[in-house]
């Protein structure tokens, strides 16, 4: 059996030099003299934590002028060896599209992917950040309304031939679904309710039984802990409030915390900084829906 396989990006050119979400403030970044050094350490610590779970990590080279290239979760949506490349909403990130495409074509040429495709013209969708695969339920949860569009979710559904449950995001603080929701391998959903519209919450609670929902609070969300990497019983996330750690442990998960504060200054954390390449839709036991 192959090891789980993740993609990360060299943080050599990471900085906060523009503002496209409320987390970002270039003046705060410039005032923090240790920010670059801490970013290197944080990236290395996250990689080590993922490798300690038995996974392999491939690195994309950094490129000057593309600071958010460190968030490859936004590069593409991947399932069963097929990758659908992202198209970004903001001009500041559109320069990432060509190097990400080149990197994914190289992965295909190495036999790590079977297919690399691009979105239809004019369609905006920002990759796995707004398309969270839930293996147990055999579907994607898809975020829209802040960056990705409903047309982008339709394109994901068409390309992969899988259901996409659309969830509208209510606030620019939680601009991608991965900032406020994380399907976990045990079938639970970690989520932050205020990030969603009322209709999105209704949809989610109709799809997921109450005992499978783990509610994050304001402190958890502001620490970007919902933006986590999960393999089996292990959850890797930014430094977490004790109450969230207790909630996860009560559900059978083991928490590994990493200081990701430099990347949180840009609005990203563990999930954003990675992309799993070996996501599979192989059948899993069905999970009960809410009554």
Pick the closest to residue 177 from 203, 158, 212 (CA basis).
Answer: 203
Residue 43 neighbours by CB under 8 Å, 6+ apart: 8, 10, 11, 70, 263, 273
Q: Report the distance separating Cα 146 and Cα 56, nearest Å.
A: 32
Compute the Cα dihedral for 81, 225, 135, 5 and give only its sign: positive
* Strand order across the 234-238 sheet: 229-231, 234-238, 254-258
Categorise residue 35: left if φ over 0, alpha if ψ from -120 to 50, beta otherwise: alpha
Of 125, 180, 188, 272, catalytic: 272
Residues forming beta bridges with residue 165, ordered by sequence position: 141
Give yes or no: 176 in active site. Answer: yes
Of 125, 173, 176, 188, catalytic: 176
- Name the H helices within 132-278: 150-160, 198-207, 218-222, 242-250, 261-264
Give yes or no: 272 in active site. Answer: yes
Residue 222: how many CB atoms within 10 A of its CB?
14
The dihedral formed by the CA atoms of 234, 236, 242 and 247, expressed in degrees to the nearest 10:
-40
Q: Report the distance separating Cα 11 and Cα 269, nearest Å.
A: 13
Q: Which residues have a catalytic role annotated?
A: 176, 272
């Amino acid at each position: 059996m192959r090891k789980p396989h993740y993609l990360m990006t060299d943080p050599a050119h990471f900085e906060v030099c523009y503002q496209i979400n409320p987390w970002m403030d270039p003046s705060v970044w410039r005032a923090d003299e240790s920010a670059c050094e801490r970013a290197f350490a944080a990236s290395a610590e996250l990689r080590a934590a993922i490798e300690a779970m038995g996974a392999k990590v491939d690195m994309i080279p950094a490129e000057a002028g593309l600071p958010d290239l460190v968030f490859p979760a936004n590069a593409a949506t991947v399932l069963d060896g097929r990758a659908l490349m992202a198209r970004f909403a903001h001009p500041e990130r559109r320069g990432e599209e060509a190097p990400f495409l080149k990197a994914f074509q190289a992965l295909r040429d190495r036999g790590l992917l079977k297919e690399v495709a691009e979105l239809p013209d004019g369609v905006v969708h920002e990759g796995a950040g707004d398309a969270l695969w839930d293996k147990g339920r055999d579907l994607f949860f898809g975020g829209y309304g802040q960056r990705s569009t409903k047309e982008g979710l339709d394109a994901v559904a068409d390309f992969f031939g899988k259901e996409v449950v659309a969830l509208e995001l209510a606030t620019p603080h939680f601009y991608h679904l991965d900032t406020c929701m994380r399907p976990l391998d045990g079938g639970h959903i970690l989520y932050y309710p205020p990030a969603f519209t009322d209709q999105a919450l209704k949809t989610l609670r109709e799809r997921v039984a109450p005992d499978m929902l783990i509610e994050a609070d304001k402190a958890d969300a502001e620490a970007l802990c919902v933006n986590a990497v999960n393999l089996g019983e292990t959850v890797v996330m930014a430094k977490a409030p004790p109450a969230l750690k207790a909630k996860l442990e009560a559900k059978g998960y083991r928490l590994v915390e990493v200081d990701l504060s430099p990347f949180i200054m840009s609005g990203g954390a563990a999930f954003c900084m990675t992309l799993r390449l070996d996501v599979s839709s192989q059948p899993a036991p069905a999970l009960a829906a809410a009554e």
